[in-house]
């Protein structure tokens, strides 16, 4: 019984650690986006009339949104707790 409790605590700790790491990664990516994209816009406006900086802004922005959805636990494709249900399902099969 004590081993189950310890394993459960370790599992919860690892899941919490992964979530904190994902959120930390998201904020680092957001900070880089907020620094790099305006810099690219500045370069773009000073060198050419074609707005090429919009392409990396949209591409990176899409990746940033997806990263944020993952980090904060929103998954529109699989629903809430889909991963947990699948893990339990596969554990019961074996």
- Could you identify the residue written with the tokens 């074609």? 50
* pTM of the predicted protein model: 0.74
Domain positions in the chain are 1-93
Beta-carbon contacts of residue 93 (< 8 Å; ≥ 6 apart): none
Between vectors from CA 28 to CA 74 and to CA 14, what angle results, nearest 5°? 55
Question: pLDDT of 26-35, one tens digit each?
Answer: 999 999 999 9
What is residue 38's DSSP assignment?
A: H
Q: What percent of the chain has pLDDT over 70?
A: 93
19: phi then psi, degrees, rounded to nearest 5: -65, -45
Contact 73, 84 (CB under 8 A): no
Contact 66, 59 (CB under 8 A): no
CA pair distance 31, 25, nearest whole angstrom: 10
Of 5-14, 19-28, 62-71, 78-87, the range with the lowest mean pLDDT is 78-87
Question: Is the pLDDT at 18 greater than 80, yes or no?
Answer: yes
Question: pLDDT of 49-80, one tens digit each?
Answer: 999 999 999 999 999 999 999 898 887 776 66
Q: Give the pLDDT confidence score for residue 84 in this predicted structure.
A: 77
């Amino acid at each position: 019984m004590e081993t189950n409790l310890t394993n459960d605590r370790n599992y919860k700790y690892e899941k919490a650690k992964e979530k904190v790491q994902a959120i930390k990664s998201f904020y680092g990516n957001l900070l880089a986006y907020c620094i790099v994209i305006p810099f690219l816009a500045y370069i773009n406006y000073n060198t050419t009339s074609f707005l090429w900086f919009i392409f990396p802004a949209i591409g990176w922005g899409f990746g940033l949104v997806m990263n944020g959805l993952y980090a904060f636990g929103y998954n529109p494709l699989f629903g809430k707790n889909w991963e947990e249900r699948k893990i339990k399902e596969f554990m019961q099969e074996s």
